[in-house]
Amino acid sequence: MTTQIFISYRREDTADITGRIYDRLTYKYGAPAVFKDVDSIPPGSDFRKYLDSKIKECAVVLVVVGDGWLKKDPATGATRLENPHDFVRIEIESALKREIPVIPLLVEGASWPPQEKLPEGMQEFVYRQARVVGHDPDFRLHMEALIADLERIFDTCRPVPPPVSGTVQRPVPPPVRSAFQRPPNTRPLPPSLVQNASGPGPAQQTSGSGKWILLVIVITTVIVGIIFFLSVLAGLSNQGLNNY
């Protein structure tokens, strides 16, 4: 996993509080995501190039500023930041040059370093918004606020995932049209086909019923007539027999 968080600090100044900050961040993001100690610089390598390469891998640099961050070197009488080979100076200048977000963390009651005491390559450092990280009982709340800041930075760095390869766009099938549905831009069906397809209409049903009723009436009338005619013939036959 590529390093996301680089912690810049002075061991003789803020080792204890930096260790707690490191533990909290590795608990949240994992140890490979946080770089803290320059002790891992390979022997024989150019530490300036190595630190620059580690800064380049990061999304954010945390600079832990303690009360002795600007402490003078007893041997030279100058601040350690005035030394161009100072690790902290190399780390901050590399991050500023690459426009990587830099968050100063003020610990141990440290005050903001005055701009005139910073080398030329670090002048922009005083304009970076800082966070205060105190001891208990404020440590947990301060770290939660810092992690919220880190999450916002990581959100801007996360690339948009590409579309999944191998995805096949299935063609959309045409809509199912009824056999008697009128297709677009065609002539309408003849009325006879429409009637045959949809069944007899109300008028046709009424006309068919009337024909059946009329037929029943005619047949009934014929049967009644035949019965009446046979009755008359039977009466005449009986009367002739009586005369004999």
- Left (φ > 0), alpha (ψ -120 to 50) or beta: where does 63 sit? beta
DSSP-derived 3-state class of residue 61: strand
Which of the pair, 12 or 244, is modelled with greater confidence? Answer: 12
Q: Over 90: is that where the pLDDT of 21 sits?
A: yes
Q: Are residues 141 and 42 in the same domain?
A: yes
184 belongs to a structural domain = no
- What is the tens place of the pLDDT at every residue in 32-76? 899 887 666 788 888 888 888 888 889 999 999 998 898 888 888
198 occurs within a structural domain: no
**How large is the average pLDDT for residues 159-185?**
55
Question: Domain holding 36: CATH number?
Answer: 3.40.50.10140
More confident call, 199 vs 79: 79
For 23, the domain range is 5-157
Q: How far is CA 145 from CA 96, 126, 150, 187, 204, in A?
A: 23, 20, 9, 73, 84
Q: Does the model's pTM come out above 0.85?
A: no
- What's the pLDDT at 71? 85
pLDDT greater at residue 54 or residue 193: 54
Residue 21, amino acid:
I
Would 193 be classed as within a structural domain? no
Statement: residue 198 has pLDDT above 80: no
Q: Is the dihedral of CA 236, 241, 242, 244 positive or negative?
A: positive
- Residue 50 included in any domain: yes
The reported pLDDT for the residue numbered 151 is 93
Tokens 């040059």, residue? Answer: 97
The model's confidence at residue 1, banded by pLDDT at 50, 70 and 90, is: very low
Using only C-alpha atoms, the chain has a radius of gyration, in whole angstroms, of: 51
Question: What's the pLDDT tens digit per position in 113-133?
Answer: 888 889 999 999 999 999 999
More reliable by pLDDT, 17 or 223: 17
* Whether residue 25 is found in the same domain as residue 138: yes
**Per-residue pLDDT at 178 exceeds 60:** no
pLDDT at 28 over 70: yes
Domain shared by 136 and 238, yes or no:
no
Instruction: State yes or no: pLDDT of 144 exceeds 60.
Output: yes
- Comparing 109 with 190, the larger pLDDT belongs to 109
Residue with the bigger pLDDT between 48 and 9: it is 9
User: Would 202 be classed as within a structural domain?
Assistant: no
Section 149-154 average pLDDT: 92
For residues 151 and 225, membership in a common domain is answered with no
Q: Identify the pLDDT of residue 34.
A: 92
Number of domains comprising the chain: 2
pLDDT of residue 220: 84
Distance CA 161, CA 159 (A): 6
pLDDT at 197 over 50: no
Region of poorest pLDDT, from 58-72, 109-123, 211-225, 230-244? 230-244
